[in-house]
Structure 1
């Protein structure tokens, strides 16, 4: 891969949107500087063949305690750019297929309870509709994946995540579980419907978005890690297809194939979604990236 990859239409469009240049408002000078800065980082990533773990180790070093660095990185398009780079590297290596990867975001917490069967993710009272999700984890030939572990996490109806809730009202691991799947690779869970959210008001990310003339909203979504022996780990999430920000996510997490439409009936909604994994070509592909993550 050469630096010409940064000049492709997909990346140049991402840069225009991430910097706010394609928007009517914002500070023109800051938009231009932001675009040049992010494009320069993208070129460095390609030029030096920086991998995902090296990228996140650098972010962790630069973060130095800044609480919202994990929001700023996706907001300026860099986390999505890493997905585009990994997709392009897969294509160069002849690897294709499988559920699309997309951004992890900064709100995963290690150590969620491991459960089996029809799992209830929600521990706390939440006066909202119930979400039901079902599906199957398969391999590239459609075979059921045995021994899969499905990590699931999402916000509550106020858009807050447990362990990061500014109200302090949620119990540990509310709306967070790891589902241990059977030999058929099938999963099912229910929880209280998550809401989309905006970046914290007047925080660094919110201030940057306003100066760039951009909003800081995410659609309602559910995060997933999928891991299984012999298969590449998958980091992905679904955005609800009927959310007003479904295709205008400030963090660029929306991708084709990850926008299911909830079947809403009464006080519940059903989503059927299958995951397809790729086989691992090396033991390292069964590991998650070296990103710094929260501990309970």
Structure 2
């Protein structure tokens, strides 16, 4: 019977994938084996530690639902999501910076008229968002769908609430840019919030004494034909957690200075009943191709 030493075992497992028909799959699997085996050797991993890891990953999968993706959250807090994003967007050429999709994107949103208050039923300081989508030269891009979503004043997304299934979405919508590439809407000023800590990923963050907070932000997904899809956040300038984002998603270019205003009317001419905040941001799109991302639950349905 063949016997393997530590190094011979690794070589044998790598060689076992030699007949993989897909060259990319072969490369990825063999590199994964190398990295995993190196980790085991470097750390002198014990049976108890490996069993703990298996249990952790099992519980991570069990925590996933159609509206919650605990594996994405794990990828985010380990910095893997941002690293994958970085290696796939090395050359931005003046285009708006990208960030992670996050675990609370639920798929394409309902098209909503400009100026709609997407948080009309929620408490919070009112905010007006005015934005524009252009190419790298500043030429406006009309007819572009832009998905928007953000947390409420308590730091929760609509899909985290038990009422989501019956009451539908809030603080999320889709807008179509006008002839000048513009779109605008009303909402509430989002606040910083902790990631969900009621699952295995939260247990890891708490056990390691890491800050669990994300600075306040608004998510945007811009899908212009003839351009690379843009997945990004716009962060609220001055947020106390801007330098300790638990998912490492903050980039200087994506921080917006939010103006506190007391004008009696918002920029679209409609009255404001109280002081409000103004967010202004312009998205610059990079020419190219690609499909807008979908939540993993939607992909699983398509593959079934």
Fold match by TM threshold 0.5 = yes
Q: Which moved more, 1:246-255 or 1:108-117?
A: 108-117
DSSP-derived class of the 1:99 partner: coil
Q: Which moved more, 1:141-150 or 1:202-211?
A: 202-211
Tell me the equivalent position of 1:84. 86
Root-mean-square deviation (CA, aligned residues, Å) is 2.8
In structure 1, how many angstroms separate the alpha carbons of the residues matched to 2:135 and 2:286?
A: 6
Pairing partner for 2:280 from 263, 269, 272: 272
Tell me the equivalent position of 2:226. 230
DSSP-derived class of the 1:248 partner: coil
Deviation (angstroms), 1:239:
1.3
Tell me the equivalent position of 1:15. none
Matches within 5 A, 1:95-244: 96-124=93-121, 126-165=122-161, 171-244=167-240
In structure 2, how many angstroms separate the alpha carbons of the residues matched to 1:220 and 1:136?
A: 21
In structure 2, how many angstroms separate the alpha carbons of the residues matched to 1:64 and 1:254?
A: 27
Deviation (angstroms), 1:62:
11
DSSP-derived class of the 1:257 partner: helix
Q: Which moved more, 1:201-210 or 1:177-186?
A: 201-210
Deviation (angstroms), 1:170:
8.4
Deviation (angstroms), 1:221:
0.8
Tell me the equivalent position of 2:6. none
DSSP-derived class of the 2:202 partner: helix
Contact 1:162 1:171 in 2 (8 A): no
Residues 224 and 246 of structure 1: CA distance in aligned 2, closer, same or farther (over 3 Å): same
| Length, aligned pairs only | 230
Q: Provide structure 2 residue ranges, at least 5 long, that are not aligned to the other structure.
A: 1-31, 39-57, 65-69, 263-274, 300-304
Residues 63 and 145 of structure 1: CA distance in aligned 2, closer, same or farther (over 3 Å): farther
Deviation (angstroms), 1:166:
5.2
Tell me the equivalent position of 2:291. 287
Tell me the equivalent position of 2:3. none
Please report the TM-score for the alignment, with normalisation by the length of structure 1: 0.70
Q: How far does the alpha carbon of each residue in 1:251-279 deviate from its partner, in whole angstroms, 9 at most, with x for none? A: 11101200112112353111110000011
Tell which has more relative contact order, 1 or 2 (C-alpha 8 A, sep 6+). 1
Contact 2:152 2:171 in 1 (8 A): yes
DSSP-derived class of the 2:89 partner: helix
Q: How far does the alpha carbon of each residue in 1:15-68 deviate from its partner, in whole angstroms, 9 at most, with x for none? A: xxxxxxxxxxxxxxxxxxxxxx9xx58x9xxxxxxxxxxxxxxxxx99644332
DSSP-derived class of the 1:273 partner: strand
DSSP-derived class of the 2:146 partner: strand
Deviation (angstroms), 1:70:
2.1
DSSP-derived class of the 1:275 partner: strand
In structure 2, how many angstroms separate the alpha carbons of the residues matched to 1:204 and 1:133?
A: 36
In structure 1, how many angstroms separate the alpha carbons of the residues matched to 2:290 and 2:178?
A: 19
DSSP-derived class of the 1:132 partner: strand
Radius of gyration: which is bigger?
2
Q: Provide structure 1 residue ranges, at least 5 long, that are not aligned to the other structure.
A: 1-36, 44-60
Deviation (angstroms), 1:122:
1.4
